[in-house]
């Protein structure tokens, strides 16, 4: 499964690089020279990598490195992570619609209550404290006007 996911991502990168190569070709000479060098190199390396992965030509060292490699230490279930990603997308949508001052407490309450199953007292106190702190630190302290959202702007 991991191998397929990795090959799919590599293939997507290969398609992206090929697409950018075509796009770059139509730029003036000086604007396309350096990107074309990088893209050509990228296309070659991606092809080699994909070929090696498809025919399972990785060396023992590479395989060990694959097992060990990467830079995250938490190995969470995929479906759970997708749900969390859904929550983060929802946060962005809520922020776009209602801005920070409404979106942030709304997200805290919904996410911590329904996703994390935290107690109401804890949820409400975290949402309240964070929103008040955010307002005073960012808007009053740093003088950054917080985004008010599509509805209130």
Restricted to residues 10-29, the positions that interact with other proteins (CB under 8 A) are: 10, 13, 17, 20, 23-24, 27-28
Quick one: DSSP state of residue 55? T
CB of 104 to other proteins, least distance (A): 6
87 is a site residue for other proteins (CB under 8 A): yes
Please, what is the Cα angle at 6 between 5 and 10, to 5 degrees?
120
Judged by CB under 8 A, the residue of 22, 55, 56, 116 near other proteins is 116
Give the whole-angstrom CA distance, residue 56 versus residue 49: 10
- Residue 101 contacts other proteins per CB under 8 A: no
The number of angstroms, rounded, from the C-alpha of 34 to the middle of its chain's C-alpha atoms is 27
Asked whether 7 and 52 are in contact (CB, 8 A), the reply is no
CB of 5 to other proteins, least distance (A): 6
| H or E element at residue 71 | none
Scanning residues 37 to 76, which ones bind other proteins (CB under 8 A)? 38-39, 41-42, 45-46, 48-49, 52, 59-62, 65-66, 69-76
């Amino acid at each position: 499964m991991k191998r397929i996911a990795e090959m799919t991502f590599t293939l997507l990168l290969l398609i992206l690089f090929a697409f950018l190569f075509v796009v770059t070709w139509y730029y003036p000479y000086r604007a396309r020279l350096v990107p074309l060098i990088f893209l050509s190199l990228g296309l070659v390396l991606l092809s080699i990598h994909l070929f090696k992965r498809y025919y399972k030509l990785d060396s023992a060292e590479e395989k060990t490195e694959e097992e060990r490699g990467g830079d995250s230490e938490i190995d969470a279930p995929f479906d759970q992570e997708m749900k969390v990603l859904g929550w983060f997308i929802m946060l962005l949508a809520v922020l776009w619609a209602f801005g920070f001052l409404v979106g942030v407490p709304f997200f805290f309450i919904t996410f911590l209550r329904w996703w994390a199953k935290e107690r109401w007292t804890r949820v409400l106190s975290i949402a309240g404290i964070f929103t008040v702190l955010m307002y005073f630190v960012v808007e009053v302290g740093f003088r950054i006007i917080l985004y008010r959202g599509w509805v209130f702007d």
